[in-house]
Structure 1
Amino acid sequence: MLRTPCLVGAAALLLLGSPLAGRAGARSYGWEVVVVDQASRSAMVLQSAEELMAYQGPGRLPVVWSWSADREPALADLGPARSWTNPSEAKSRVRAGRRYLVTTASGGLAAVVDTATGRTRWAADVGGAANPHSIELLPDGNAAVAASTGGWVRVYAASQGPRAAAYAEYRLPGAHGVLWDGRAGLLRAVGDAELTALRVGGTPAAPTLTPVRRTPLPDGGGHDLAAVLGSPGRFWVATLRHLYRYDPDADRFTPVRLSGPHADRDLKSVGDEPFTGRLLTVAPEHTGPCDWCTSVITLHRPEGARTLRGTHLYKARWWSIR
């Protein structure tokens, strides 16, 4: 189900989240924020960071767009009541002029959703025992999935149809993050102990994965991997204890210190808004019924936090146009 209260049409949705997408002639507010909320079992696009900081609530959540597998009859064959349990990832990806939501759930579902139509371009149940944690859309239309408990990174032949099941697999213990590096033409993935660069070969129908570089992490428990949008070619790498910027040319991790003694620990997601320099992070509160979740979105440079009551957020990312 597509919910777009203020914009309609493919062109409008492609601009959604762009700093160029003005609001009734007002100044730009920057990119919106996409979150995965395990309480409502949905991926939600919220207002921009600046608007979120001004949001008083809690009468309503400032939701611009949302999607849930529970609302998609076309996914009934994948058992979303089970496979869509605990949504774990949501990213914006633009390919060939169209924007897609790419998303996973720990219950096993991985999906690529066309935001202009709300239709699922590709989906698979990779198994709840695998605990998929992240997904990436490759230039050829295939989908890379990282599964932490399964200990693997797979490239599914998603370009071949909505239920294409063929895949190539690379074993990576604790695989939590996966990201396409367009500059190097490599698929990068982070696991418990290493950051790995993989060459995607073969054909779209029969992909292959070959390791190119394996770099030990400075400390254990790699969790998130994201491009540093303000410095192309660099990457954010979050572990249980620290946040780093990784430079693949120098093969070097540089610690990033955030405000507060523990602000850079146990981050589930991190990203920068390049034209403002703001960082967006999410870290669990370790309280209540969801030990790995939070209801707080945190901003850095400048600092700010917004509590979205009633939510169980796992990740928050900029709804970027990359």
Structure 2
Amino acid sequence: MIRRKGRLPRLAALLIGAGLAASLVTAPSDDDAAPALAGGPAPAAYAVTPAVSPFVQSGPRNIITRVQDTYVANADNADHSTGQFLRVGTPDNGATKFRSFLKFDVSKLNGAHIERASLRLYNSDTGSCTGWGMYANPVAAAWDPSTITWANQPALVAGYETSAKFGLGSDTCPDRPVDSDPDTSNGIQRIDLTATVKAWTRMENRLANNGLRLSAGELGSVAYKELCSMNPAASDPACHLSYYTPTLEVEFNPGVPVISAGNEYAVNYGGYPATSPALEFYDSANPALWPATGPYQRWVPDAYHSFKDPQGDLLRDTFEGGTEHKLRPAGAYTAPERTNEQVLVVGDGHSGLVAVVPYPALSGARFAINVGTQNVTNLHGVELMPDGSVAVALALTGQVKVFTKDQGAIGNAPSAYATASDTELLEDAHSLHYDEDTDSLWAIGKNQLVRYPYTLGTGQLGAPETFTLPLNADGSSSPYGHDIQPVYGNPDRLWVSANAGIVQFSKSGATPCYNTSRWPTGRTSADGKPNRWCTDYDHERLVNKGGMAKSVGNAPVSGRVITTCAGDPAACDAPVTGAHGWTTPAITFVDTAIDVDPTVDNEASRHNEYWRKTNAQYYRVRWMVPSYN
């Protein structure tokens, strides 16, 4: 029997700490104020489950790109644009003076609501551990990194100067790089640039973006600093990592939740790397802009993202974008001296990789194992439990497995996770969801939705409670379950998607919730249980338009639904030429923005959005919500 504890969401635990991530909101922005779609009245506490705003880091494949950096010295006219360091201040009490210049292209953020921006730097050397200040100013004219000198350096734009005090890198205050989790390195420092980036991206009276000048006191050597440049050097103990290069971090369109999608297509993005499938992150404020902006950020488990594979086992085949990906409270993976962190749990069926990655840093890992490649296990689902255990759903072997935090410790040999902490059989296991309100792990397979009781700290699943999925609309064939997700706004409900379609499931079965539907039909509504298989949610006819539904979920504030499907011409875009049959180039939205008659669903409120219609290959899409319910 399911226990309902009526716990309130742990909103305090979802707040971002240490200035690392996008702010969480508990009220809709103007762009995300549509009425909730989740069925039935919801307790107010659940209706304000926060979502993460877009947070982009500059990089060669993101919508903010790094352009150039260098430094100038009063003692020479040399070209310093290829060096591994930037220098500011004076190391010899004013005899030699240094200033550094940087530039980022933020043009794709023009018109966006900029909430916060900062320049992330790695401090590699200092003149004093006291932490003397340095300064950042926008410059007033263009400059060339190979020809700029002390004599021809551009003037500054008045009114935007910001500063920060820090000092690391000497014998008495050494910097300590942490390659496996770079954002926890003590050398990481940030300088606020919110006003400057707002000026660079506003629609009217826009400030020309000629980059930044970094400087420090030029009379005494106490303010001198060396910083990693945009040119990582393999020989340097810190500045070899891409995460330590000067990086512009921007939180924008606050209150508009983030969408993640694993893209199997190895598109040529330009720059690093030339081609690669990737896990992509999209701003949902205006999906019509995606063809112009693309994903605002991408993640691949590679050296650029500080992903290490010391045993050569974690990627047994190519990474194909991530079959499953969820944002979760860091819980047991919270770094020392930090609170309220978030992590991305990702599983990739093709390579077999399962990892827990700091978010939004997307650099390093705190858990990593390999559960077998696609032709061995065919991983489809992954979930992070609050105690640090990670569960996986393996379709080919028909198993739900649990691995403990210790088994996934970074650097472990494959023998550490060769045998799971627990294994349960479930035919064609496809998706998982941990439910804090029932202390359970839910799993879906070919014909069954299963609840496994789970006691935190044990790594062991309890005796299953099984619910038979409704048969396909023909009344005889298997539904083939694909996905389960929480219905944000209604803690009693789970989204269930299958080859047969999309339905909501009531965990309590307390009240009737079934209305006439294309699926389940009255005769296939699972053993005559009208209190379990719910079709009474808003816009059910549009959400459940057809079969072959690969994923489904709703935004926590607006209730907007996103889904993917592949294989049903009535509801799905056909896969692109040469793509796997389970992929689609479209992310489908269902919302209320274009409804005309409140008693009749308007087909225009279901719409497909694309980044690259000719070659995107999605399987699942997710709202990035750091909450289990």
Given the alignment of the two structures, is residue 242 of structure 1 paired with residue 494 of structure 2, yes or no?
A: no
2:295 corresponds, among 62, 68, 76, to 62
Residue 610 of structure 2: aligned partner: 307
Residue 445 of structure 2: aligned partner: 191
Given the alignment of the two structures, is residue 13 of structure 1 paired with residue 21 of structure 2, yes or no?
A: yes
Asked if the contact 1:14–1:99 (Cα under 8 Å) also holds between the matched residues in 2, the reply is no
Range 85-94 or range 139-148, more displaced: 85-94
Partner letter of residue 120 of structure 1? A
Give the direction of change, closer, same or farther, for the CA distance of 1:307–1:203 in structure 2 (3 Å limit).
closer
Measured after TM superposition, the shift of residue 149 of structure 1 is 0.9
Given the alignment of the two structures, is residue 214 of structure 1 paired with residue 497 of structure 2, yes or no?
A: no
In the aligned structure 2, how far is the partner of 1:109 from the partner of 1:144?
13
1:108-257 equivalences under 5 Å are 108-115=352-359, 116=361, 118-128=363-373, 129-160=376-407, 161-162=409-410, 163=412, 164-165=416-417, 166-201=420-455, 203-204=457-458, 207-219=459-471, 220-250=479-509, 252-255=532-535, 257=540
Partner letter of residue 62 of structure 1? P
Q: Which structure: greater strand fraction?
A: 1
Partner letter of residue 101 of structure 1? L
Measured after TM superposition, the shift of residue 78 of structure 1 is 2.3
Given the alignment of the two structures, is residue 293 of structure 1 paired with residue 583 of structure 2, yes or no?
A: yes
Residue 308 of structure 2: aligned partner: 74
Q: Deviations over 1:29-48 (max 9, x none)?
A: 5201111111142211111x
Residue 103 of structure 1: aligned partner: 346
Measured after TM superposition, the shift of residue 148 of structure 1 is 0.8
Asked if the contact 1:14–1:98 (Cα under 8 Å) also holds between the matched residues in 2, the reply is no
Identity of aligned residues (%): 25
Residue 5 of structure 1: aligned partner: none
Asked if the contact 2:22–2:54 (Cα under 8 Å) also holds between the matched residues in 1, the reply is no
2:281 corresponds, among 45, 48, 61, to 45
SS in 2 for 1:230: coil
Give the direction of change, closer, same or farther, for the CA distance of 1:295–1:159 in structure 2 (3 Å limit).
same
1:262-281 equivalences under 5 Å are 263-281=545-563
In the aligned structure 2, how far is the partner of 1:300 from the partner of 1:267?
14
In the aligned structure 2, how far is the partner of 1:306 from the partner of 1:127?
33
Q: Deviations over 1:130-182 (max 9, x none)?
A: 11111111010110111111201111012452345142100001100100000
Given the alignment of the two structures, is residue 34 of structure 1 paired with residue 260 of structure 2, yes or no?
A: yes
Asked if the contact 1:70–1:84 (Cα under 8 Å) also holds between the matched residues in 2, the reply is no
Give the direction of change, closer, same or farther, for the CA distance of 1:56–1:208 in structure 2 (3 Å limit).
closer
Give the direction of change, closer, same or farther, for the CA distance of 1:289–1:70 in structure 2 (3 Å limit).
farther
SS in 2 for 1:102: strand
Asked if the contact 2:583–2:617 (Cα under 8 Å) also holds between the matched residues in 1, the reply is yes
Measured after TM superposition, the shift of residue 213 of structure 1 is 0.7
The gaps in structure 2 that reach 5 residues or longer are: 1-16, 25-50, 56-111, 116-251, 266-275, 332-339, 472-478, 510-530, 567-572, 593-604
SS in 2 for 1:223: strand
Give the direction of change, closer, same or farther, for the CA distance of 1:275–1:264 in structure 2 (3 Å limit).
farther
Measured after TM superposition, the shift of residue 237 of structure 1 is 0.5
Q: Deviations over 1:48-67 (max 9, x none)?
A: x2222x31624x4132x321
Residue 30 of structure 2: aligned partner: none
Q: Deviations over 1:213-257 (max 9, x none)?
A: 111001220000000012113100011012110001116012363
State TM-score, norm by structure 2.
0.46
Give the alignment's Cα RMSD to 1 decimal. Answer: 2.7
The gaps in structure 1 that reach 5 residues or longer are: 1-8
Larger radius of gyration: 2
Measured after TM superposition, the shift of residue 258 of structure 1 is 3.5
State TM-score, norm by structure 1.
0.86
Give the direction of change, closer, same or farther, for the CA distance of 1:46–1:135 in structure 2 (3 Å limit).
same
Asked if the contact 1:199–1:209 (Cα under 8 Å) also holds between the matched residues in 2, the reply is yes
Give the direction of change, closer, same or farther, for the CA distance of 1:249–1:86 in structure 2 (3 Å limit).
same
Measured after TM superposition, the shift of residue 201 of structure 1 is 4.0
Partner letter of residue 13 of structure 1? A
1:24 corresponds, among 111, 114, 122, to 114
Asked if the contact 1:286–1:292 (Cα under 8 Å) also holds between the matched residues in 2, the reply is no
Residue 4 of structure 1: aligned partner: none
Asked if the contact 1:70–1:80 (Cα under 8 Å) also holds between the matched residues in 2, the reply is no
In the aligned structure 2, how far is the partner of 1:55 from the partner of 1:212?
45
In the aligned structure 2, how far is the partner of 1:202 from the partner of 1:233?
21
Give the direction of change, closer, same or farther, for the CA distance of 1:50–1:24 in structure 2 (3 Å limit).
closer
Measured after TM superposition, the shift of residue 114 of structure 1 is 1.2
Give the direction of change, closer, same or farther, for the CA distance of 1:242–1:122 in structure 2 (3 Å limit).
same
Partner letter of residue 308 of structure 2? A
SS in 2 for 1:111: strand
Give the direction of change, closer, same or farther, for the CA distance of 1:56–1:209 in structure 2 (3 Å limit).
closer
